[in-house]
A and B are shown apart, each in its own frame.
Chain A
Amino acid sequence: MGWQELSYLTLPRLVLIMGMLALPLVMPGMYWPRVITIVCIYALLALSFDFLAHFVGLVSLGGAFFIGVGGYLSAIFNTSFGIPPLISIPMATVAGAIICTVLLLPCLPLRGVYFAIVTLMYPLALARVIEATDILGGTDGIMGIDSFPNAWIEQYFVIILVLLFLFGIRRLVNTDVGLVIRAVKDNDQAVRASGMNVNFYKAGAVFIASAMGCMGGACLVHIYMWGGISLFALDFSILPIAATVIGGSGTLVGPVLGCLILVPISELLRDFGTLRIVFYALLLVGFVVFRSEGLMAYGERKYHQVERWVKV
């Protein structure tokens, strides 16, 4: 392969990786690096949403559920057991994924709408319970959580996580196991007729998706050094969906891109209160209704039409 072909294929990926790794270096001041970190947390959620929605056929309306579970778990591990962040985060990820998957098991044999309903409700209900029973810090939340050893680790930890999961999931869906998962979405009767337990594969996919979300939540509490009911906030549920639809569902890179666009806008709109949620929601409706393929798919198409603008 000539160097031209090689670079054509690898350039987009390189740009993405280099770009993301370079971000903390180029962002000025204290404020913007923090935003990049938040972008990555949302990106984890968006990846988890896209993976579940596009490849498994399950719509998760409650990213906040994963963030909340992962966040609270890591907070507890850290404050009650003194476990340092770099260990409590992986622990919270695994434990959180197990808890979330178990709680979601009842809807797996059923149609997708039930999964949507249940994921919608869990964060709302859990937030109410914590508020009402005042456990886990109640409305004040858990304070005094350790932060990352230093700011560079904080930023690069999450960036690398996002990149790992992004490329990891992309590889997964193209392996043969990934084929089985996708077959479950398109043709589950045939999979069943081949002697395979469809719910087992769905549970596996849910486990992976919740692990991503829980990891995001676990990182978040260490970034803010605080964990409370706001972990169950609606932002975590709606923004990943908006990011996925706008960025391009199914591409896995699209959701990350969508977050890169939406989260900074969200920060800018923070002064306008909950208007930012209205903004995402309407944008989301617009993209869904007009069946836009998303920016990423559009971009990929244009990129592959490169013969049009380069003489071959």
Chain B
Amino acid sequence: MSDQPILEVKELTKAFGGILALNGVNFHLNEGEILGIIGPNGSGKTTIVNCITGFIRATSGKIFFRGKDITGKAAHKIADMGVTRTFQIMRPYYSLPAYKNLVIPLFSPRAKRTGGWRGGGKLGDRNTVGIDILEEIGFERDSRVPYKMASTLPTGYLKRLELARCLALKPDIILCDEVFSGLSASEIASMVPLIERLQMDGVTLIMIEHRLRELFRVADRIMVLNFGEKVTEGTSDEVMANEKVKEAYFGSEDIEEIMTYA
């Protein structure tokens, strides 16, 4: 592992017409860590993901992945380099069975090159690889679950499916956009080991979350955004002791959770 951060974001700015969604955001991501990004609604968290992964073109600023400038590149090229994402509003292929959802990303050039998650450089039969990945993320192989239509799966499974689609590419980075949202406390509790395993397998993660308690269990560092600007960053303790962070959340529905850290 080199000393250079795996991802560097410099002065990232995005304006939608007259609205400044991001205003000069600077941060870096170290390889192998889990960075949590928090902030009240509308602070620009999803916009950061969209800009980094190429779904939206930044107004100004630069993004570097392993030292290479990826600002403005096409979304599929960025994913091909290993920077993947989940979607806050989930987008599984609803009319297909769960394992077929994975067969599609296994057609990508990156999957062919890397062999998918456990491929070790060679891609086997896509259907089999799909089932293998599903098993790893918690779909019981011998049950009928991997074969069920995605439209019939509950949220917990769908969130895992979103992650699995990233795994099919053997990613370097996964930007998780609210993977914990919509899940019950016990469902999140069972997702946490999965996240930790991914980190142990060498994936670097950015997690955007509202569920702070659970996020703080896994994240190594936290960054706080408000109104498109970085408020502060540091460990969860440092960040929660920061008065400006409490001010930022004042008036939002997460305020109660924040206040427990007073």
Which residue of B91, B109, B169 is within 8 Å of A187 (Cβ)? B91
User: If A197-B76, A198-B76 touch, does A191 touch B104 (CB 8 Å cutoff)?
Assistant: yes
**Size class of the contact patch on chain B:** 20 to 34
Tell whether, in the assembled complex, residue B93 and residue A190 are in contact, meaning their CB atoms are under 8 Å apart: yes
Max chain A Cβ within 10 angstroms of own Cβ: one of B80, B108, B127: B108
Give residues 135-178 of A contacting B (CB, 8 Å): 176-177
Tell me, in angstroms, the Cα distance from A190 to B74 when the chains sit together: 14
Could you say which residues of chain B place their CB within 8 Å of the CB of A198?
A: 76
Judge if B227 is at the interface, Cβ distance under 8 Å: no
Tell whether, in the assembled complex, residue B107 and residue A192 are in contact, meaning their CB atoms are under 8 Å apart: no
Nearest neighbor of A187 in chain B, beta-carbon distance: B91
Judge if A130 is at the interface, Cβ distance under 8 Å: no
Tell whether, in the assembled complex, residue B104 and residue A194 are in contact, meaning their CB atoms are under 8 Å apart: yes
Judge if B159 is at the interface, Cβ distance under 8 Å: no
User: If A189-B91, A194-B108 touch, does A179 touch B79 (CB 8 Å cutoff)?
Assistant: no
User: If A176-B126, A179-B100, A179-B104 touch, does A195 touch B79 (CB 8 Å cutoff)?
Assistant: yes
Task: For the complex formed, measure the closest distance between the CB of A308 and the CB atoms of chain B, giving whole angstroms.
Answer: 27
Tell whether, in the assembled complex, residue A193 and residue B93 are in contact, meaning their CB atoms are under 8 Å apart: no
Judge if A35 is at the interface, Cβ distance under 8 Å: no
Which residue of A180, A189, A197 is within 8 Å of B104 (Cβ)? A180
Bitwise, A121-145 to B at CB < 8 A (1) or not (0) is 0000000000000000000000000
Judge if A186 is at the interface, Cβ distance under 8 Å: yes
Tell whether, in the assembled complex, residue A195 and residue B93 are in contact, meaning their CB atoms are under 8 Å apart: no
Could you say which residues of chain B place their CB within 8 Å of the CB of A189?
A: 55, 87, 91
Bitwise, B88-118 to A at CB < 8 A (1) or not (0) is 0001110110001001110111110000000
Max chain B Cβ within 10 angstroms of own Cβ: one of A177, A186, A187, A193: A193
Judge if B165 is at the interface, Cβ distance under 8 Å: yes
Tell whether, in the assembled complex, residue A179 and residue B91 are in contact, meaning their CB atoms are under 8 Å apart: no
Task: For the complex formed, measure the closest distance between the CB of B99 and the CB atoms of chain A, giving whole angstroms.
Answer: 11
Give residues 131-167 of B contacting A (CB, 8 Å): 165
Which residue of B95, B127, B169 is within 8 Å of A194 (Cβ)? B169
Which residue of B87, B95, B111, B126 is within 8 Å of A193 (Cβ)? B87
User: If A187-B91, A189-B55, A189-B91 touch, does A194 touch B105 (CB 8 Å cutoff)?
Assistant: yes
Tell whether, in the assembled complex, residue A195 and residue B104 are in contact, meaning their CB atoms are under 8 Å apart: no
Tell whether, in the assembled complex, residue B79 and residue A192 are in contact, meaning their CB atoms are under 8 Å apart: yes
Task: For the complex formed, measure the closest distance between the CB of A203 and the CB atoms of chain B, giving whole angstroms.
Answer: 14
Could you say which residues of chain A place their CB within 8 Å of the CB of B93?
A: 179, 183, 186-187, 190
Judge if B23 is at the interface, Cβ distance under 8 Å: no
Which residue of A180, A183, A186, A195 is within 8 Å of B80 (Cβ)? A195
Tell whether, in the assembled complex, residue B91 and residue A190 are in contact, meaning their CB atoms are under 8 Å apart: yes
Which residue of B85, B96, B107, B127 is within 8 Å of A196 (Cβ)? B107
Could you say which residues of chain A place their CB within 8 Å of the CB of B104?
A: 176, 179-180, 183, 191, 194, 196
Tell me, in angstroms, the Cα distance from A176 to B96 when the chains sit together: 11
Q: Is chain A's binding surface mostly helix, strand, loop or mixed?
A: helix
Could you say which residues of chain B place their CB within 8 Å of the CB of A187?
A: 91, 93
Tell me, in angstroms, the Cα distance from A176 to B106 when the chains sit together: 10
Tell whether, in the assembled complex, residue A177 and residue B107 are in contact, meaning their CB atoms are under 8 Å apart: yes
Judge if B204 is at the interface, Cβ distance under 8 Å: no
User: If A186-B93, A187-B93 touch, does A193 touch B107 (CB 8 Å cutoff)?
Assistant: no
Bitwise, B209-247 to A at CB < 8 A (1) or not (0) is 000000000000000000000000000000000000000
Task: For the complex formed, measure the closest distance between the CB of A174 and the CB atoms of chain B, giving whole angstroms.
Answer: 11
Could you say which residues of chain A place their CB within 8 Å of the CB of B96?
A: 179, 183
Task: For the complex formed, measure the closest distance between the CB of A183 and the CB atoms of chain B, giving whole angstroms.
Answer: 5
Tell me, in angstroms, the Cα distance from A183 to B106 when the chains sit together: 13
Tell me, in angstroms, the Cα distance from A195 to B79 when the chains sit together: 5
Could you say which residues of chain B place their CB within 8 Å of the CB of A177?
A: 107
Could you say which residues of chain A place their CB within 8 Å of the CB of B55?
A: 189, 192-193
Nearest neighbor of B90 in chain A, beta-carbon distance: A190
Tell me, in angstroms, the Cα distance from A187 to B100 when the chains sit together: 14
Tell whether, in the assembled complex, residue A190 and residue B80 are in contact, meaning their CB atoms are under 8 Å apart: no
Tell whether, in the assembled complex, residue B75 and residue A180 are in contact, meaning their CB atoms are under 8 Å apart: no
Which residue of B53, B84, B107 is within 8 Å of A176 (Cβ)? B107
Give residues 26-57 of B contacting A (CB, 8 Å): 53, 55
Could you say which residues of chain B place their CB within 8 Å of the CB of A192?
A: 55, 75-76, 79
Tell whether, in the assembled complex, residue A193 and residue B84 are in contact, meaning their CB atoms are under 8 Å apart: yes
Max chain A Cβ within 10 angstroms of own Cβ: one of B76, B95, B127: B76
Nearest neighbor of A196 in chain B, beta-carbon distance: B108
Could you say which residues of chain A place their CB within 8 Å of the CB of B126?
A: 176
Could you say which residues of chain A place their CB within 8 Å of the CB of B110?
A: 195
Tell me, in angstroms, the Cα distance from A186 to B95 when the chains sit together: 10
Tell me, in angstroms, the Cα distance from A176 to B87 when the chains sit together: 23
Judge if B168 is at the interface, Cβ distance under 8 Å: yes
Closest 9 CB pairs of A and B: A194-B105, A195-B79, A195-B108, A195-B80, A190-B91, A192-B75, A196-B108, A195-B110, A192-B76
The 8 sampled A-B contact pairs (Cβ below 8 Å) are: A186-B93, A187-B91, A189-B55, A192-B75, A193-B84, A195-B108, A197-B76, A198-B76
Instruction: List 13 extra interface pairs beyond A193-B75, A193-B84, CB under 8 A.
Output: A187-B93, A192-B76, A192-B79, A194-B108, A194-B165, A194-B169, A195-B76, A195-B84, A195-B110, A195-B111, A195-B169, A196-B108, A197-B76
